[in-house]
Amino acid sequence: MRVLFIHPNYHSGGAEIAGNWPPAWVAYLAGALKANGIDDVHFIDSMTHDIGDDRLREMIEELQPDIVGVTAITPSIYKAENVLKMAKDVCPRAVTVLGGIHGTFMYRQVLSEAPYIDAIVRGEGEEIMVELAKAVAEGRWPEARASIKGLAYVVDGKVIATPAAPTVKNLEAIKADWSILDWPKYQYIPLGVRVAIPNMARGCPFTCSFCSQWKFWRDYRIRDPKAVVDEIIELRDKHQVGFFILADEEPTINRKKFVAFCEELIKRDVGLLWGINTRVTDILRDEKLLPLYRKAGLIHVSLGTEAAAQLKLDLFNKETTVAQNKKAVQLLRDAGIVVEAQFIVGLENETAETLEETYRMACDWKPDLANWSMYTPWPFSDLFKELGDKVEVFDYEKYNFVTPIMKPDSMDRAELLDRVMNNYRRFYMKKALFSYPFAGTGDRRKYLWGCLKAFLKAGFERKFYDLGKVDYWGPQSKKKVHFNFDTTRQRANDEDVEWQVTHNRKTNTMHEAALAMACGGGKEQMDDDGVPLMGAAMHGSKQQMADHVHEAGACGCGSGCDCEDGKAKSGPPKTTFTVGGAKPQPIKVTHESAGV
């Protein structure tokens, strides 16, 4: 049996300006399949190779796969749907499968608009994909799909979702097949070396409503630091990787494990530079450990910060927050680490003054790099639900952090884009003339000049921030900018979105849906034993999350579970959805699907 995975050809001019990123998802899925005796696995990275539809169609037809699997984040969902339609056209008997975060929560909408998709994998894919592939190989598909947890599919026009699959408990049992990737293509432009994106943990111990990571991964699980270093050494020795970025949202959140990871890198003389996203609070907490992090090879830290428009609404905390951000930046620079400040812009209360304030912050804090990202509420986040009618654009292809999804009250989207570009122009002009030439010597200097090279290359090629696609050439062209939103795309009905997930933690009681923070912008902490602490509120109090967990039995799956307290009981109704409508069918909720 032959399995073909395809990465959709989606580009947005965001993170890819720094190079081509290896899609780790396919390495983990391929590794899981091969460990279970399914060896005929192929991969087409149509994004990195920029493969057009005609050529991709030919490649699928040549391979004649039995299963075609595609992943999709929200902005790439339409490209992914098109790939699977193409696969079904040329290989009608192939089982078409969609995975990824968007399909996990939006499967009802996806299946209603893409009926040629045979199944959607909801959540982590390794174990579910193995079960699906075995069913196809053994001739048990489609009859077996109802018994496979974590799937969604259509039967006679009705969308069916099987109970949620358990999360992968033993991450070390998953051995990624990194050889499936075409490594020479994955180059990190700032250093001119191959780049990898391994992960040290899955999920997050906290439940911020502006974020979706904890929803997708559900449980927070962290790997053995030694095993992570083993994997990095394998990537270095077998695939000549020269730089890596940890895929974790905030790898420093568990300080004890992160320190052990750094010590292992030093002990084994790995000798690679690497980067992370993290939070200001973690940097302040780890002030004395920063020299250790730098010795381990950490060269680039991207810090999430609150939006200036949000701080405008939170004047009580603004002075402290700004001072902390500035101190964290200085601590990293003093440690010889390149620091990038992430700013979120484009909230409904954004003004020319708040946009200018982010520029002044960048100048005052003196980060080496700065990035202004458009406020983008994921359509399955609690924040999106709370925003309601304030969200006007439902063309998910534009949900890419470089296109203004929200329209500020005081300006149009073209003016917002123009002012953001003005911040970029001024910031990097000053850096190029008055900062980078005097950035010292060694790795830090080399890295900064490499980042400037990547920035200029993307700008020259008109790929940065999708400027070429929207026809922006500078202030003189802002009246001609066109975002080309597909206005035929409609908002999904609330009942067609999977808002709830199975987890054993209570959502934050603090009203975080109103917050807008860059990646790594949370404030919660963990103690050295990995126990989550609730974020400090306005008066600085901290309580252990264990005091706030909702009532649940030993199984930890929450109210409504049929195994709570060891006694079966009826849970909330589960619904079988009809395309275009809903028909409730109350059933007993199982352990794995409680809360789903």
The neighbour count for residue 297, using CB atoms within 10 Å, is 19
State the pLDDT confidence band at 20, using cuts at 50, 70 and 90: very high
Q: Which whole number is the average pLDDT over 14-38?
A: 94
- Residue 28, C-beta contacts closer than 8 angstroms, at least 6 positions apart: 125, 126, 174, 176
- Over pLDDT 70: what percentage of the chain? 80
| C-alpha dihedral, 168 to 170 to 175 to 180, nearest 10° | 10
Residue 174 has pLDDT above 90, yes or no: no
Alpha helical stretches, state H, 296-393? 308-312, 315-334, 352-365, 382-387
Residue 545 has pLDDT above 70, yes or no: no
Task: Tell me the pairing of strands 158-161 and 574-578.
Answer: antiparallel
Instruction: Write the pLDDT tens digit of every residue in 266-306.
Output: 999 999 999 999 989 999 999 999 999 999 999 999 998 87
pLDDT reported for residue 214: 64
State the pLDDT confidence band at 316, using cuts at 50, 70 and 90: very low
State the pLDDT confidence band at 495, using cuts at 50, 70 and 90: confident
202 vs 170: CA distance, rounded Å: 11
Residue 126 has pLDDT above 70, yes or no: yes
pLDDT reported for residue 56: 98
- Residue 70, C-beta contacts closer than 8 angstroms, at least 6 positions apart: 5, 6, 7, 8, 80, 83, 84, 96, 97, 98, 99
Instruction: Write the pLDDT tens digit of every residue in 523-542.
Output: 556 666 666 554 333 233 33
Q: Which whole number is the average pLDDT over 206-224?
A: 73
Instruction: Write the pLDDT tens digit of every residue in 342-393.
Output: 998 998 999 999 999 999 999 999 999 999 999 998 898 878 888 889 999 9
Q: 188 near 275, Cβ under 8 Å?
A: no
Q: 3-161, what's its fold?
A: Rossmann fold (3.40.50)
Residue 4 sits at φ, ψ, to 5 deg, of -120, 120
| C-alpha dihedral, 345 to 350 to 351 to 353, nearest 10° | -60
pLDDT reported for residue 275: 98
Pick the more confident residue, 580 or 299: 299
Instruction: Tell me the average pLDDT of the chain.
Output: 84
The neighbour count for residue 437, using CB atoms within 10 Å, is 11
Q: Which whole number is the average pLDDT over 205-221?
A: 70
Q: 341 near 170, Cβ under 8 Å?
A: no
Q: Which whole number is the average pLDDT over 322-348?
A: 94
Q: Which whole number is the average pLDDT over 544-554?
A: 32
pLDDT reported for residue 523: 56
pTM of the shown model: 0.84
Residue 571 has pLDDT above 70, yes or no: no
- The long-range contacts involving 346-349, CB below 8 angstroms and separated by at least 24 positions, are 346/374, 346/375, 346/404, 346/405, 346/406, 346/408, 346/416, 347/307, 347/309, 347/310, 347/375, 347/406, 347/408, 347/516, 348/390, 348/406, 348/407, 348/408, 348/409, 349/309, 349/312, 349/313, 349/408, 349/409
pLDDT reported for residue 510: 33
CATH class of residue range 186-480: alpha beta
pLDDT reported for residue 249: 82
Task: Tell me the pairing of strands 193-196 and 241-245.
Answer: parallel
Domain ranges (residues) in the chain: 3-161, 186-480
Token readout for 498 is: 């999977």
- Over pLDDT 90: what percentage of the chain? 67
pLDDT reported for residue 203: 79
| C-alpha dihedral, 99 to 25 to 513 to 353, nearest 10° | -120
590 vs 588: CA distance, rounded Å: 6
Is 232 strand, coil or helix? helix
Residue 587 has pLDDT above 60, yes or no: no
Instruction: Write the pLDDT tens digit of every residue in 222-254.
Output: 999 999 999 999 999 999 999 999 998 889 989
158 vs 464: CA distance, rounded Å: 42
Of the given ranges (267-276, 462-471, 515-524), which has the lowest mean pLDDT? Answer: 515-524
* 3-161 and 186-480 have identical folds: no
pLDDT reported for residue 590: 34
Of the given ranges (40-44, 94-98, 334-338, 440-444), which has the lowest mean pLDDT? Answer: 440-444
pLDDT reported for residue 560: 35
State the pLDDT confidence band at 52, using cuts at 50, 70 and 90: very high
State the pLDDT confidence band at 544, using cuts at 50, 70 and 90: very low
Residue 142 has pLDDT above 60, yes or no: yes
**Which residue in the block uniquely carries the two structure tokens 């030439």?**
437
Radius of gyration of the chain (CA): 24
Tell which residue, 173, 161, 7, has the closest CA to residue 99: 7
The neighbour count for residue 588, using CB atoms within 10 Å, is 14
Instruction: Write the pLDDT tens digit of every residue in 423-439.
Output: 999 999 999 999 998 88
148 vs 163: CA distance, rounded Å: 8
- Residue 92, C-beta contacts closer than 8 angstroms, at least 6 positions apart: none
